[in-house]
Structure 1
Amino acid sequence: MAESTPALSQTAFVQQLNFWARDASNESAALLGAFALGMFAHLPDEGASAPISLEALAQRIGGTVRGTRSVIEPLVGLGFVRLEEGRGYSLPASSDFLRQEAFATRMREALDGWLVSAKLPEALRTGAPVEWRGGSRDLLGWYRQEFLAPRAPAPSPTAADYEDRAVRNFLRTQALVTSGTVGLLEAMVSGPRLHSELAEATGTQPEALRVLLGVLASMGLVRQEGDAFGFSELAGRSLDATSLPYFQRALPATMDYWEAFAHLDEAVTQRRFRLDLRDPATAKRIYQQNASRITGIFVSHLKLGRKAAELVTSMRPLKDARVLDVGTGSGVWGAAFGLADPSVHVTYLDSEHVLEQVKPNIAKLKLEGRARYWAGDCLSVDYGESQYDVILLPQVIPALPPEELPRLFGQLARALRPQGLLLVSGYLLTDRRDGPLDALYFALRRYVSNEGDVLSMPDFRRLLEPVGLTSSRGFEMPIQQVVVASRGDVPWPAP
């Protein structure tokens, strides 16, 4: 069994690996969800008639504007749909295959298999079809067909690309998740092992395990030497004993959204959310898990937070500054500012159960003497007036209902002192909202869980300027972006 993916650099391989772990299923959900919604029947041909506006498209498919946008924006970012700014959407000639019934049937069949794909661990352990909705599904046979058998020719290279992203990307994610679940990745960390040893170590049926190993080989993760299997050279460098636990922490978070993505059409047309973070019990479970996962990678995120603190220091001194970390999560951003100057005092705001995980992180850094823990909901607490020099919003905005943002930004603006700064970290979309792709996929994930959104700089300015934060800019940071806003009384750093 040979490696079958084109040669990649180490950096490109790691990016691909992280994409499969986090974003591939989001991408598949958008591409398959567009068919479930009947979206392509309502898109005019490019150049033949006027583009259709977002509002009109939402009305045609019976969906909400926000939900419709969350699905079509990734299609624009990938080039399958055209966006003419100020007018709307159309279908380019290269995407005419999207209206072919045979192609649509293929997409609907893939979506029908979305939920059952999560039973791959069971199929590996038994080597048999899995029970599903009163019948059985040959899940291993499906994987053989998609990854190990010759592929039927697609109508065009563009159609082949769409098909691969829609049908196989979520199956790749599930193969990775399952490899972690049964302990296969961990079993290969020490080097190549005989197939029989891997089957015994993972508790899987030997021939079923060969299917999974074949899928991983097609992804460039595994290579075969005789009857022994191990990581490919690139995978071995990317998933060693130190980095593998870090990588595997992302996988359960991906699975949290699996059912929600299977029913994306319901979220768009009925506002029925299978993972509703507005439900207190669901929110508590997910946010507590997220805080725990981020705590596990606290050191790497602390470096990112310190870069943001350096940016602020280039704009104003932090001596004796009062910092508020809203929706603190693991506390990593507030901690970074606490470390930036020994006189900084940080208030960490989050729910009580999350703060219980923050306190040990702050204690390890010996910052508890300059820390205050504020248990509360960021949408209901009283922030006061002129209380803080810096207010941090780390990955909070997408988790909030968009209709609440104007009021929240108004409260935060009042809570800033003169020369105060508001920092919003996370994803930042282009002005056209057509990229970057990882931000669009994250926006889709937020929509299916709480109708949240990812913003562009024009979106931010529409929220910030009416509350007096008239000066704002976006900055690129490692991993994510930061938006900084002020009343215009703070100089921007030199380029």
Structure 2
Amino acid sequence: MTNNQPSPDGILRLINGYWATGIVSASATHSVFTHLENGADTAADVAIRAGISERGAQTLLDGLVSVGLVGLRDGRYRNTAEASAYLVEGTPASLSSFAKLKLTHMNALADLPEVVRTGGPVKQVATEVADNPHWAEVVPAIAAQSVPAATIAADVLRLPEAGAISILDVGGGSGIYSAVWLEANPDARSTQLDWEPINAIARRLLEERGVADRFTCIDGDFHTTDFGTGQYDVALYSHIAHQEGPEGNVEVFTRLRKALKPGGALVVCDYVVDDDRSGPAFPLLFASEMLLKSKQGGTWRRADYHDWLIKAGFEDVSFHSAPPATLVVARQRRRPVL
């Protein structure tokens, strides 16, 4: 642009951001990333392997180059390292199922102006209904998102060398944390508390991973189910805090502290924003999801988590990066024996 006038390119990309969701979702639906990983490197190759039109394949490849998920060199296409790690089917951290799922959620954004006006959902909140059939699709699709954070958390807690520990996963969903942690520590045992339909999904995943013999479930709602007292070495509260309000989180953290053995650790994983709300980018955007789908949730600040955990009786609180999430580890110090 002349006269130092800024270009509208960035604004137009944002306004038309749904194109990117469509391109990634359609590419995942037709296994484009998997075919590229397995040697297809032209639109014609992708079209044949995926069973789609060559025109359609070329459009998807053009879009993937645009959003930075596919590279083009000398007329040949290949996945970027990011796409290879997270969008190829069958890999532990594959988000391809999640990419397909998000396309079905796009219509909900049309409600955002009214949701912003009223300050909360204008339709039934699916996350608050135990028997909603959408869990069967959503829970497995989002499992892979937690693989990197679960792996980092295992290192932070030094789980592989922790011995025969007991784990409580509150609202554990797919059971992916238990799967990763039980694989890392063959002497550990894990208990998941969640609604019965979701626990059934978790049991299947743990059976597939070969660690179901050390995994048990409690069917119930974590808001009302007793966690016990002094029973667990590690407790987990992953991607639940963003659905709850401040008072609810303090109440759950307090009960989780009581459920831990002396010196035990609570791990909270969530999309956490900086204290001045200047970043990180993904958690800031995720706040709109909570406005659409929860009655009091949000993306909370580091200072919020620190204050809530101290109020709940923890004494040591530390933060660990697990992009795009943050791990918050809280402990109550062991008391000296007099």
Distance 1:192 1:401, change over 3 A: same
2:88 matched to which residue of 1?
243
Alpha-carbon distance between aligned partners in 2 of 1:340 and 1:242, rounded to the nearest angstrom: 24
Please state whether the residue corresponding to 2:17 is helix, strand or coil. helix
1:192 matched to which residue of 2?
42
2:312 matched to which residue of 1?
467
Per-residue deviation, 1:377: 1.3
Deviations along 1:215-261, one digit per CA (max 9) or x if unpaired, are 55544647698xxxx76345599459982563522313322431222
Please state whether the residue corresponding to 1:455 is helix, strand or coil. coil
Alpha-carbon distance between aligned partners in 2 of 1:377 and 1:256, rounded to the nearest angstrom: 27
Distance 1:267 1:360, change over 3 A: same
Task: Say which of 301, 322, 326 aligns to 1:456.
Answer: 301
1:347 matched to which residue of 2?
191
2:100 matched to which residue of 1?
252
Q: Which 5+ residue runs of structure 2 have no aligned equivalent?
A: none
Task: Say which of 395, 400, 407 aligns to 2:251.
Answer: 407
Q: Which has the higher contact order (CA 8 A, sep 6+)?
A: 1
Letter of the structure 1 residue corresponding to residue 101 of structure 2: A
Distance 1:209 1:286, change over 3 A: same
Per-residue deviation, 1:177: 2.4
Distance 1:263 1:346, change over 3 A: same
Alpha-carbon distance between aligned partners in 1 of 2:18 and 2:168, rounded to the nearest angstrom: 39
Distance 1:201 1:404, change over 3 A: same
1:276 matched to which residue of 2?
125
1:324, 1:348 within 8 Å by CA — same for their partners in 2? yes
Alpha-carbon distance between aligned partners in 2 of 1:182 and 1:191, rounded to the nearest angstrom: 15
Per-residue deviation, 1:213: 5.9
Calculate the TM-score normalised by the size of structure 1. Answer: 0.56
Distance 1:432 1:237, change over 3 A: closer
2:34, 2:87 within 8 Å by CA — same for their partners in 1? no
Letter of the structure 2 residue corresponding to residue 288 of structure 1: A
1:172-211 equivalent positions in 2, closer than 5 A: 172-181=20-29, 190-194=40-44, 201-202=51-52
2:71, 2:77 within 8 Å by CA — same for their partners in 1? yes
Distance 1:185 1:486, change over 3 A: closer
Choose 1 or 2 for highest CA Rg. Answer: 1
Task: Say which of 11, 19, 22 aligns to 1:163.
Answer: 11
1:324, 1:346 within 8 Å by CA — same for their partners in 2? yes
Q: Is 1:384 aligned to 2:232, yes or no?
A: no
1:260, 1:273 within 8 Å by CA — same for their partners in 2? no
Letter of the structure 2 residue corresponding to residue 202 of structure 1: I
1:324, 1:392 within 8 Å by CA — same for their partners in 2? yes
Task: Say which of 154, 159, 170 aligns to 1:309.
Answer: 154
Q: Which 5+ residue runs of structure 1 have no aligned equivalent?
A: 1-151, 491-495
Per-residue deviation, 1:484: 0.7
Q: Is 1:426 aligned to 2:260, yes or no?
A: no
Alpha-carbon distance between aligned partners in 2 of 1:192 and 1:430, rounded to the nearest angstrom: 43
Calculate the TM-score normalised by the size of structure 2. Answer: 0.78
1:257, 1:445 within 8 Å by CA — same for their partners in 2? no
Q: Is 1:264 aligned to 2:108, yes or no?
A: no
Alpha-carbon distance between aligned partners in 1 of 2:16 and 2:3, rounded to the nearest angstrom: 14
Counting aligned pairs with the same residue, the percent is 22
Please state whether the residue corresponding to 1:389 is helix, strand or coil. strand
Count of aligned pairs: 326
Please state whether the residue corresponding to 1:481 is helix, strand or coil. strand
Alpha-carbon distance between aligned partners in 1 of 2:72 and 2:325, rounded to the nearest angstrom: 33
Per-residue deviation, 1:392: 0.8
Distance 1:291 1:153, change over 3 A: farther
